[in-house]
Structure 1
Amino acid sequence: MAKQERSALIVGASRGLGLGLVRAFLARGWDVTATSRGEAPALSSLSPVAPALARVDIDDDAAVTRLHDDLAGTSFDVVFVVAGIADGAQVPLPQGDRATALKVYETNAVSPIRFAETFADRVAPGGLMVLMSSVLGSVSLNESGGWESYRASKAALNTLARSFATRHHDAPFGTVLMHPGWVRTDMGGPDADIDVATSAGGMVEVVEGRLGQRGCVYLDYRGETLGW
């Protein structure tokens, strides 16, 4: 039997977890299309297999629409929206800059859902729309506080994703909110629990195991369900 070819669109893949996901999907034989806002030398230099590359800023609706049009006729088993920011995350919300907090909300919650809505028709039957969330987006698990604007943006993403999944309840794909773990990236810092390869490999394995399943779930990189 011929090997089944699977394809993924990784949105926000120039570095960190996005780049790690590209590597992990390619290593498992997937065809990958990766996006970045600007130049992405780490992506273009991947070998022996490099992903197809595209430019998009998910905060720019017109750019997202152009990408959608450029990919006309193409469907993906997985659309994975990774892009996100943590500007001012360690400043308590009342003491922080209002514009910064609103930008975090836009990029982490509003833009991923708007991207998902635009690309819902690009998810193949049995495929998945995956949105990079965080355990910090769990309201029930927030017992320590901190990272207030970032937490709120990811909690908002989780809520909006459930509404997205309900809106598309008849669509032949599932929705996954993914917590990557505490990862040693620019955002996670050098003292984090795991490296990018461990997180990305785990997430890809979880995603592969969810193919063909519908509904909306909130999982970590080990496949464990998180409390909303």
Structure 2
Amino acid sequence: MTSTVLIIGASRGLGLALAREWLQRNWNVIATARASGTHDLQKLAETSSCRLTLEQLDMNDVDAIAALKRRLSGLELDLLFVNAAVANGPGDRVDKVSTEEFIRIMATNALSPMRVVETLGTLVRPGGTIGVMSSSLGSVALNQTGGWEVYRASKAALNTLMRSYAVRHAEGGRSLALVDPGWVRTDMGGDGATLGIQESIPGVVDALAARHGQPGLRFFNYKGETVPW
């Protein structure tokens, strides 16, 4: 039986690459984007032999998340993966950011992904996987250089909230994953990043596959290596 993954935030960058990777591995893919008719994602769907289904979703809209769940009612997922996030760059400082921008980043990177997990996680079959794209920048232990302050805080908050989710759903039997893709050359990562998408994303998918069927929460990178909290 063909496996099915739902990717939240797949219009470009890492999310789009994830959709391509799972299609290449013969999965059925459901991919969301904030805007309908996203060019690259639409083009990928047209060449997917009907294995890629597109859904429109603004992750920050609670009603839209609930509506997506209704549209997917009756579908059993093998994997739910939340990818969407925002950042202001390495010079982002907590003493310089506006209250409105702080709230935007924290809501998009921590609150909204967890709302997605809470709402759509029930579609994942027992023994399936729920994954969220985190970052080594969210590791408190690894913060030896500073920078990316609000982004770091948002990913640390995401990690903490997933830890709480894991405690509350300890009997669910699902594999829960916080994944660090590495520093990747994307619009967010910038041209100076150390990894290309084709170095990162196959590793992310391999690492998720290696954890599949193993209950509980783990924080690991694209090589499958544990990242310290």
Does TM, normalized by the shorter one, top 0.5?
yes
Q: 5+ unaligned residues in a row in structure 1: which ranges?
A: none
d(CA) in 1 for partners of 2:14, 2:192: 16
d(CA) in 2 for partners of 1:24, 1:197: 9
Quote the residue 1:43 is aligned against: 41
d(CA) in 1 for partners of 2:75, 2:189: 34
Kept in 1: contact 2:139–2:156 (CA 8 A)? yes
CA RMSD of aligned residues (A): 1.1
Quote the residue 1:127 is aligned against: 128
Kept in 1: contact 2:82–2:133 (CA 8 A)? yes
Percent sequence identity is 44
Q: Does residue 25 of structure 2 align to residue 28 of structure 1?
A: yes
Letter in 2 for 1:12: G
Extract structure 1 runs of 4+ deviating beyond 3 A. Answer: none
Per-residue deviation, 1:172 = 2.4
Corresponding pairs, count: 225
Alpha-carbon deviations, 1:89-131, whole Å to 9, x = none? 5221111212101110000000101110001211112111100
Quote the residue 1:56 is aligned against: 57
Letter in 1 for 2:108: T
Letter in 1 for 2:63: A
d(CA) in 1 for partners of 2:78, 2:86: 26
How does 1:42-191 map onto structure 2 within 5 Å? 42-46=40-44, 48-49=47-48, 51-87=52-88, 90-191=91-192
Kept in 2: contact 1:17–1:196 (CA 8 A)? yes
d(CA) in 1 for partners of 2:2, 2:125: 12
Secondary structure at the counterpart of residue 145 of structure 1: coil
Quote the residue 2:198 is aligned against: 197
d(CA) in 2 for partners of 1:25, 1:91: 33
Return the TM-score normalized by structure 1. 0.96
Kept in 1: contact 2:173–2:216 (CA 8 A)? no
> CA separation of 1:144/1:88 partners in 2, compared to 1, >3 Å: closer, same or farther?
closer
d(CA) in 2 for partners of 1:57, 1:197: 27
Letter in 2 for 1:221: Y
Alpha-carbon deviations, 1:14-34, whole Å to 9, x = none? 000000000011111111000
d(CA) in 1 for partners of 2:163, 2:136: 16
Kept in 2: contact 1:43–1:51 (CA 8 A)? no
d(CA) in 1 for partners of 2:194, 2:16: 19
Alpha-carbon deviations, 1:12-62, whole Å to 9, x = none? 000000000000111111110000000311111016315100001110000
Alpha-carbon deviations, 1:134-163, whole Å to 9, x = none? 000000110101100000000000000000
Secondary structure at the counterpart of residue 125 of structure 1: strand
Secondary structure at the counterpart of residue 45 of structure 1: helix
d(CA) in 2 for partners of 1:36, 1:163: 27
Q: 5+ unaligned residues in a row in structure 2: which ranges?
A: none
Kept in 2: contact 1:127–1:212 (CA 8 A)? yes
d(CA) in 2 for partners of 1:106, 1:63: 15
d(CA) in 2 for partners of 1:221, 1:176: 12
d(CA) in 2 for partners of 1:170, 1:176: 16
d(CA) in 2 for partners of 1:202, 1:108: 22
Letter in 2 for 1:28: R
